[in-house]
Chain A
Amino acid sequence: MDYSEIMVRYGELSTKGKNRKDFIRQLGQNVKAALQEFADLEIHAQHDRLHVALNGTPSGPVIDRLKGVFGIENFSPVLKVEKTKDAMFEAAKTLIEAQYEPGMTFKINTKRQDHQFELDTNQINDQLGGHILRSIPVITVKMKQPDITLRVEVRLNGIFLSSETIHGAGGLPVGTGGRAVMMLSGGIDSPVAAYMGMKRGVKLDMVHFFSPPYTSEQALAKAKELTTKIAGFAGHVQFIAVPFTKVQEDIKEKVPEGYLMTIQRRMMLRLTAAIAQQRGAKGIFTGESLGQVASQTLESMLAINDVTTMPVLRPLVSMDKTEIIKIAEKIDTYDLSILPFEDCCTIFTPPAPKTRPDLEKVRNFEKLIDVDALMAEALAGVTVVNIKPGDHYMNQQEEVFAELL
């Protein structure tokens, strides 16, 4: 069916009183960013709804994109017809037939803005309902919880009909919740945590630690590729790569084995906090969940968190692995995450890391390395790339291979 526009209904932001304007403006920007590849669209964010005029663009791909934008409660593809009874009848029948299966019930919900139109609200409900009952032999009317609700709006510039309501991603528009940085490893958890952070409206920059030659180019490319998926929910995302080889080598050389992991994590968190501060970010997101591995006990968190006062937010803290995997599959990061490249969290892991590190001992052992010098060196080597959905980092020979395939 050739729909003429898509009508988007806002999510939770409808309830947020005075911030409402900001929310709508941000959502409008995010929708524009998500739909930027479709040249013919016109997007208008109004106080109660957002309208995407399709101008001939097929609705399918636009609908797929809208499903990933946070802050949208639901949306409906809409058919716009001229203001005549016949056009309205015809369009209503087409819409209902597209959805109808034997045994279904329907109702008509009319709003009339244009009081010049020949029929009033009750007459439309009545006559249109009669027309549907006559055209589709066994359909019945039901006022409470019908299978199909046909919405008819008579506006000054035409009649707008819709019958399908598609669930949006919910949550809050990315950007309305401020800015934070995300510690992205390349595993299953961190992209899911990023997704959940963004769902609450936070704009996230990805911070990724890499340690060549212990970690490969592929591991870095994988983290960037994951970021392209995450960018699908935010329009675009900054990817910050932090060289970590020197820090890890130094720790490995000087610190007792049982505390390697704890002190490495402290350095990562310190560096992340420093980067966050430089960029005016107000928090740090991680993919940690309690009890999964040695670094994720409460004692470890206490010993690692000791290095910063910036809030460290852990959206996955109480989730099971199976729940996390489900979301990873939904947001299409799972297959990438399970690619077997070493990341800097898996190298230099001692056979028996302390699961209950002692904070005082940690602080003392850390004096064996030159924290400030190592930090300065790592920060000097930071590189930033802006990553958009649809970018490619994993398969650089794609064009060469395209000739083979």
Chain B
Amino acid sequence: MIYFDNSATTQAAPEVVDTYDKVSQQIWGNPSSLHRFGEAAFNLLEQSRKQIADLLGVHQSEILFTSGGTEGDNWVLKGTAIEKRAFGNHLITTAVEHPAIHNSMEQLKQLGFEVTYLPVDEAGRISIADLKAAIRPTTILVSVMAVNNEIGTIQPLKAVADVLADYPKIHYHIDAVQGIGKGIQDMIMNDRVDFVTFSGHKFHAPRGIGFIYKRQGRKIAPLLTGGGQERNLRSGTENLPAIAAMSKALRLLLTDEAKKVAQQRAVKNRIYQHIKDRDLVTLFSQPTDDFAPHILCFAIKGVRGETIVHAFEEHDIFISTTSACSSKKHMASSTLMAMHIDESVATSAIRISLDANNTLAEADEFNRVFDVLYDQFKKLSHTESKSSAQV
């Protein structure tokens, strides 16, 4: 079995599950309880938080736990909108964001907020000139993803930071769900960023856990009110087994990060080199440094993405049509549409997303299967063009 769908989710690591089990069974107190079961749970909670903060080079109080990427994105956007509505009603994001951002923005629009979606070029990247032009006196937030989940583009996070250095009141949010552990931590945790969203299950932690970074001094309204957990910003009894497990998963992820990034890049490159000159193949991701090392997105002309996914599945290779969120809805990739890729090509797109566990041998096996399938697809597309010629 070859699993090339790591941007959809990753398998929880055994040692991470081990922590989850142990904490569930041994440190099951409520961190808010005053007795020693509670105290032990509280201490583990804070130690997990500290480990994450140390790994990211930030302060312990700047890490707040959530249920995952979707909650983090929703929270930063809506929490900022509520907190700062007296200062303005304009938010800026990109045309290629994950639906957790896009649909939150749409919801805010219905409530009277104004949203600018920055267009992207043929590489899926925003332009700094567009950003500068979009900023208004009423702008309260700029939200940019670190790594595009469909084609792997790395956005110019530092250039955005430089622009926003002149606008200290605007909240700068980075959706780093696909960006952590991919060798660009210095771009994400830059000097200007105020909020960053992370999701645990993208790096071998369990589902239902994530965290945000919130710069000290920045204010955000809570979406979940209640018992006052997480510094009164995110109520709900803390999911301690998952939090401890995620803290461990992050440590493992960032150990030897450079080596792991190089490994993913090598696997991606081997596949890229193998397919790049085929007539029917349109590549959306590039092997260059301004694309993430783990995502390769391409289309095979005339074949629906879904068909390609199932064809590979028959050979025990698991890939995806662009993002997992859109694949079941038979929608063309929103990123590719924003890049003005023709819909007929966009619906043929598939995504390979890697992890440090993937090997060059797996890339070779993928390439072998690719050749077999490519020949079949080629015949298919010939017949299709013939039949259309006859009409």
- Chain A interface residues (CB < 8 Å from chain B): 216, 218, 329, 335, 394-395, 397-398, 401-402, 404-405
Contact = CB atoms under 8 A, between A and B. Distances in A.
B251 interface: yes
Interface of B is mostly: helix
B43 A397 contact: yes
B47 A405 contact: yes
Nearest to A395: B43
B60 A404 contact: no
B43 A216 contact: no
A335 B19 contact: no
B40 A404 contact: no
Contacts of A398: 43, 47
Contact of A405 (B34, B51, B216): B51
Contact of A329 (B39, B216, B244, B248): B216
Contacts of B40: 397
A401 B216 contact: no
Given A329-B216, A404-B22, A405-B251, 7 more contacts: A335-B61, A398-B43, A404-B244, A405-B19, A405-B48, A405-B244, A405-B248
Interface string B230-251: 0000000000000010011001
Contacts of A401: 43-44, 47, 244
B247 A405 contact: yes
Interface string B43-59: 11011100100000000
Closest 4 CB pairs of A and B: A395-B43, A404-B19, A401-B47, A405-B247
Contact of A395 (B23, B47, B51, B248): B47
22 contacts: A216-B34, A218-B39, A329-B216, A335-B60, A335-B61, A395-B43, A395-B46, A395-B47, A397-B44, A398-B43, A398-B47, A401-B47, A402-B47, A404-B19, A404-B22, A404-B44, A405-B19, A405-B47, A405-B48, A405-B244, A405-B248, A405-B251
Contacts of A218: 39
Contacts, number: 33
B213 to A, nearest CB: 16
A335 B216 CA distance: 12
A212 to B, nearest CB: 14
Contacts of A405: 19, 47-48, 51, 244, 247-248, 251
A122 to B, nearest CB: 39
Contacts of A402: 47
A395 B39 CA distance: 9
Interface residues of B, number: 19
B23 A404 contact: yes
A218 B46 CA distance: 15
Nearest to B216: A329
Contacts of B23: 404
B40 to A, nearest CB: 6
Contacts of A404: 19, 22-23, 44, 244, 248
A250 to B, nearest CB: 26
B19 to A, nearest CB: 5
A329 B217 CA distance: 10
Contacts of B61: 335
A395 B51 CA distance: 14
A68 to B, nearest CB: 16
Interface in B295-325: none
A218 B41 CA distance: 13
A405 B23 CA distance: 10
A255 B304 CA distance: 86
Contacts of B47: 395, 398, 401-402, 405
Interface in B1-34: 19, 22-23, 34
Contacts of B46: 395
A404 B40 CA distance: 13
Contacts of A397: 40, 43-44
A153 B34 CA distance: 60
A398 to B, nearest CB: 6
A220 to B, nearest CB: 13
Name the residue among B47, B60, B61 with the largest chain A CB count within 10 angstroms: B47
A329 to B, nearest CB: 7
A98 B55 CA distance: 26
Nearest to B241: A404
A39 to B, nearest CB: 23
B116 to A, nearest CB: 29
Nearest to A396: B43
A404 B46 CA distance: 13
A329 B61 CA distance: 10
Nearest to B51: A405
B123 to A, nearest CB: 27
A397 B60 CA distance: 18
B180 to A, nearest CB: 17
A295 B46 CA distance: 34
A317 to B, nearest CB: 26
Contacts of B43: 394-395, 397-398, 401
A402 B251 CA distance: 12
Interface string B333-371: 000000000000000000000000000000000000000
A251 B34 CA distance: 27
A119 B47 CA distance: 58
A405 B19 CA distance: 7
Contacts of B48: 405
A404 B43 CA distance: 12
Nearest to B247: A405
Nearest to A216: B34
Contacts of B248: 404-405
A79 B251 CA distance: 36
Interface string B264-290: 000000000000000000000000000
A218 B40 CA distance: 11
Name the residue among B19, B44, B60, B247 with the largest chain A CB count within 10 angstroms: B44
A329 B251 CA distance: 27
A405 B40 CA distance: 14
Contacts of B247: 405
A71 to B, nearest CB: 26
Nearest to B43: A395
A247 B251 CA distance: 49
Contacts of A216: 34
Nearest to B19: A404
Contacts of A395: 43, 46-47
A214 to B, nearest CB: 13
Nearest to A338: B231
Nearest to B61: A335
B54 to A, nearest CB: 11
A251 to B, nearest CB: 25
A402 B216 CA distance: 26
Contacts of A329: 216
A394 B45 CA distance: 13
